[in-house]
Amino acid sequence: MSNLEHLLCPLDNSPLTRHERTLICANGHAFDMAKTGYINLLPVQNKHSKDPGDSKAMVQSRRAFLAQGHYDPIVTAIIESMPDALKQRTDLNLLDAGCGEGHYLRQLVALLGVNHQVDATGLDISKWAVAEASKRAKEIDWIVGSNAHLPIESGRFDWVMCAFGFPVFEEFARVLDTSGWLLLVESGPDHLLELRKILYPAVKPFKETYANGIEGFDLQHKSRCTFRFHLPDQDSIGQLLSMTPHIHKAPYSGRQAAQALEQLELTADISLRWYQKQGNE
């Protein structure tokens, strides 16, 4: 069962205290847990749209695609690439910032739980994603919230993971403890290259993100995880397309060409970068 501790009121930043299934701050702002156990700490004032983040349909596509296991080597690569400082800890406090429907966090908690006491939190701005995540892993704290204003006490985590998400580095640094680690999981140069060649008249050259570094963090280790996978039918191709930005960016003709494919052999190329928060003793 999740704890939902160390959380802050999204309206006034004061600590939230749990009373059964409600979190309340000293100023009387109250937030009820949903039936499936997640908490919504994204007030209307902090929303830039009525239904922010991934839509219900996108969440369903991602869930259906990830459930087929095509991307499971990413979880293995994350565990293998973990810095020794984290591997050697008995306790791990982990935040998945932009967790989607929680596929990676669930697997990480299961695998890391063999050698560590894991206290895990998944946060996403999409209520659809968090509602889906919270049905599947009751031991994880699931929060609807924004990376832009994490409703979480400072110094709470040893490790923040942001996978294919929308990082807000000041906030990640704030919620990390003094020796905390940030893992960025992003697409590498050849990721889904075969699909991109079908979608676009010309594939854009790859441009590394944060090539000049990230303020407040030191890059300690980077690696790439590459593997091949096969999509056997139009449904799985459609699910993959719907969970990538290409569904919005690619021209109509490219999307039509991709949807007409009967099967597809693809390259996954994932970049894993581990950063340590600066100012460690």
Give contact residues for ligand SAM (rule: CB under 6 A).
Answer: 53-54, 62, 98-100, 103-104, 124-126, 129, 146-148, 163-166
Q: Which is nearer to ligand SAM, 132 or 158 (CB)?
A: 132
For residue 127, the minimal CB distance to ligand SAM (Å) is 9
For residue 25, the minimal CB distance to ligand SAM (Å) is 21
Q: Which is nearer to ligand SAM, 10 or 165 (CB)?
A: 165
Q: Which is nearer to ligand SAM, 145 or 254 (CB)?
A: 145
For residue 245, the minimal CB distance to ligand SAM (Å) is 8
For residue 78, the minimal CB distance to ligand SAM (Å) is 11
Q: Are strands 176-187 and 217-231 parallel, antiparallel or unpaired?
A: unpaired
Strands across the sheet containing 39-40: 39-40, 141-144, 117-124, 91-97, 157-163, 176-187, 264-277, 217-231
For residue 122, the minimal CB distance to ligand SAM (Å) is 9
Q: Are 277 and 178 in contact (CB under 8 A)?
A: yes
For residue 90, the minimal CB distance to ligand SAM (Å) is 26
- Structural tokens at position 19: 């009373």
For residue 202, the minimal CB distance to ligand SAM (Å) is 24
Cα–Cα distance between 102 and 111 in angstroms, integer? 14
Comparing C-alpha atoms, which of 153, 155, 122 is closest to residue 136?
122
Q: Which is nearer to ligand SAM, 77 or 85 (CB)?
A: 77
Task: Output the furthest CA–CA distance in the chain (Å, rounded).
Answer: 58
Q: Which is nearer to ligand SAM, 160 or 258 (CB)?
A: 160
Q: Which is nearer to ligand SAM, 117 or 173 (CB)?
A: 173
Tokens 């983040």 sit at which residue? 53
Q: Which is nearer to ligand SAM, 85 or 153 (CB)?
A: 153
